Structure 1
Amino acid sequence: MASESGSASGFAAGLASQNGAQARADASRPYYAPVGNEESVFKAAYRQGLSIVLKGPTGCGKTRFVEAMAHDLGRPLITVACHDDLTTADLVGRYLLRGDETVWVDGPLTRAVREGAICYLDEVVEARQDTTVVLHPLADYRRQLPIERLGVTLDAAPGFGLVVSYNPGYQSVLKDLKDSTRQRMVAIEFGFPAADLEESIVAHEAGVDTATAAALVRFGQAIRRLETGGLREVASTRVLIAAGLLTAEGLSLGEAARAAVAGPLTDDASVSRGLVEMIDVYLDQQARPGD
């Protein structure tokens, strides 16, 4: 049993609308620059009712990618940031007291199933494995969500999609996606974009010139080449954009990189000193914007 949701026909009609309307729709699309064939794989999997797992490092664009795909497919997007304390009830729903009554309140996963939305579980392996098991009947051919507390099983409404993400390079073996979950999904691998593409992304998102974006990307790539155990994560496109935004406010590249890149990446004093030395080499010779 599942409530009916609006079909995607409105979006299809939008695709066939006049050029002016299409231009306005394109303008509202979340900015995402494709690296490979990830967009076509995602849309093919979605059209076939297949669930999707996105694998890749922090800050490489997985969330923005899902936002862009939801826009292209004309579906609402419900995002859940997973964490250690996430329970099945947090996803599915629970009874709550409202005044003198006890009422059932749907969780985000149930809302997506009823409404035909795309449900995106970000960093899914952070949730307990007994919580993620609830995804199994949704992720395979059944496309169903059992709600034991209500004694019902919901069929996913047309348009529903399940997308999860995680960073396999960060999580330990104790925090991994169960094989029984993984094999129900189509996998899309993400990495950091090539230098020229990453430069255009940083320039667009931070509103900086190409020289500034290129300098930040060179610095980010140098960090990614480091072989040190003191960094749990390398410089992501996200932190490079943050540094670019600070330079747009008048900070020098060195000042921006210390605040937005070196500071967030590590608390280890020796590693931090190494990053600052790299900033001196790669960025401190750059002038402030407008100089």
Structure 2
Amino acid sequence: MVKTQYINSDETIFNDASALLRLNKNILLKGPTGSGKTKLAETLSETIETPMYQVNCSVDLDAESLLGFKTIQTNSEGQQEIVFIDGPVIKAMKEGHILYIDEINMAKPETLPILNGVLDYRRKLTNPFTGEVVKAEPGFNVIAAINEGYIGTLPMNEALKNRFVVIQVDYIDGDTLGNVIKEQSQLDDDNLISRIIKFNEDLRTMTKQGQISEEAASIRALIDLSDLATIMPIERAIQRTIIDKLEDEREQQAIINAVELNF
């Protein structure tokens, strides 16, 4: 049963992603931070009742983080032996589960080519640590997420990008956002939720005009401030969840102005 479902007024996003999984296509979810890409992947996993292994990419990601590592264990006879502990990629392949690669363009370009055979029609790889040839079991699928233009991200290699079908995931607003707030936060005050939605519209406008960064208008931040609004004044909730995260004083002041206008 899906506990917290991904919601978007554009139903083609979820429907197309579901269809792509049935076709065994690799999906690249492209959109700003906090727009619900991970929630979409989780909902897909729960809907098709297939567990998901997650890889969080960073500049420190290496082959061991993806594939696994060797270690020493004591066997049933009390003897020590070297064994290989499967990483998330190999586990997902062997078990026929979903592999979710978050912020794939945060990884160093030289790290990811090891996945080329996993991402094409072969659906297999040779483990460089053991020599084992691993072929994915039926049900194995790959979903990746990408945030373009953020600090620490790199242009995605075209050969890698060509192995995916891209789905654009943008922020939600209006009634859809209201439903998400009610479902995913503890706030149930309809009047306050309506004001938060209007506040979010102002944030989105300022984002499009370049006055504030996209992170300031993320759905994740709105869910947090909605929770906090149940235990403190809305102005302080916004201060804690949005304003204090920003370092640019001009961005902070722009949001303070929006708070004064809406609340």
TM-score higher than 0.5 here? yes
Matches of 2:251 and 2:21, distance apart in 1: 43
Matches of 2:214 and 2:223, distance apart in 1: 20
Shift of 1:158: 0.9
- Give TM-score, length-normalised by structure 2: 0.90
Matched, 1:145 2:119: no
User: Could you list the per-position Cα deviations for residues 20-48 of structure 1 after superposition, in whole angstroms to 9, with x for gaps in the alignment?
Assistant: xxxxx3xx433221332122211221112
Q: 1:241 aligns with which of 223, 232, 238?
A: 223
Shift of 1:218: 1.6
Shift of 1:232: 5.8
By relative contact order (CA 8 Å, sep 6+), the higher-ranking structure is 2
- Equivalent residue, structure 2, for 1:253: 234
Q: CA separation of 1:178/1:257 partners in 2, compared to 1, >3 Å: closer, same or farther?
A: same
Matched, 1:195 2:174: yes
Q: 1:132 aligns with which of 100, 107, 112?
A: 112
Q: 1:273 aligns with which of 253, 258, 262?
A: 253
- Native 8 Å contact 1:118 1:163 kept in 2: yes
Matches of 1:276 and 1:184, distance apart in 2: 43
- Give TM-score, length-normalised by structure 1: 0.82
Matches of 2:210 and 2:19, distance apart in 1: 39
Q: CA separation of 1:193/1:136 partners in 2, compared to 1, >3 Å: closer, same or farther?
A: same
- Native 8 Å contact 2:33 2:214 kept in 1: no
Shift of 1:109: 0.7
User: Could you list the per-position Cα deviations for residues 228-269 of structure 1 after superposition, in whole angstroms to 9, with x for gaps in the alignment?
Assistant: 4663633111101111000112x11111111112122x1122
Q: CA separation of 1:31/1:206 partners in 2, compared to 1, >3 Å: closer, same or farther?
A: same
Matches of 2:106 and 2:219, distance apart in 1: 22
Q: 1:95 aligns with which of 64, 70, 91?
A: 70
Name the SS of the counterpart of 1:233 in structure 2: helix
- Equivalent residue, structure 2, for 1:180: 159
Q: CA separation of 1:243/1:77 partners in 2, compared to 1, >3 Å: closer, same or farther?
A: same
Matched, 1:72 2:47: yes
Matched, 1:116 2:81: no
Name the SS of the counterpart of 1:222 in structure 2: helix
- Native 8 Å contact 1:94 1:105 kept in 2: yes
- Equivalent residue, structure 2, for 1:212: 192
Matches of 2:237 and 2:88, distance apart in 1: 37
Matched, 1:263 2:244: yes
- Native 8 Å contact 1:258 1:279 kept in 2: no
Shift of 1:207: 2.7
> Percent identity over the alignment?
26
Shift of 1:181: 0.7
User: Could you list the per-position Cα deviations for residues 41-99 of structure 1 after superposition, in whole angstroms to 9, with x for gaps in the alignment?
Assistant: 11221112111100011111111111110111110111121111000111011212335
User: Could you list the per-position Cα deviations for residues 91-122 of structure 1 after superposition, in whole angstroms to 9, with x for gaps in the alignment?
Assistant: 01121233533211111111101111101011
Name the SS of the counterpart of 2:150 in structure 1: coil
- Equivalent residue, structure 1, for 2:77: none
Point out where structure 2 has 5 or more consecutive residues left out of the alignment. 75-79
Structure 1 residue ranges (4+ consecutive) displaced by more than 6 angstroms after TM superposition: none
Amino acid at match of 1:58: T
- Equivalent residue, structure 2, for 1:9: none
Matches of 2:177 and 2:35, distance apart in 1: 10
Q: Which moved more, 1:118-127 or 1:269-278?
A: 269-278
- Equivalent residue, structure 2, for 1:21: none
Give matches, 1:23-34, under 5 Å: 25=1, 28-34=2-8
- Native 8 Å contact 1:80 1:121 kept in 2: yes
- Equivalent residue, structure 2, for 1:10: none
Matches of 1:35 and 1:145, distance apart in 2: 39
- Native 8 Å contact 2:211 2:251 kept in 1: no
Name the SS of the counterpart of 2:202 in structure 1: helix
Q: Which moved more, 1:222-231 or 1:128-137?
A: 222-231
Amino acid at match of 1:234: A
Matched, 1:231 2:213: yes
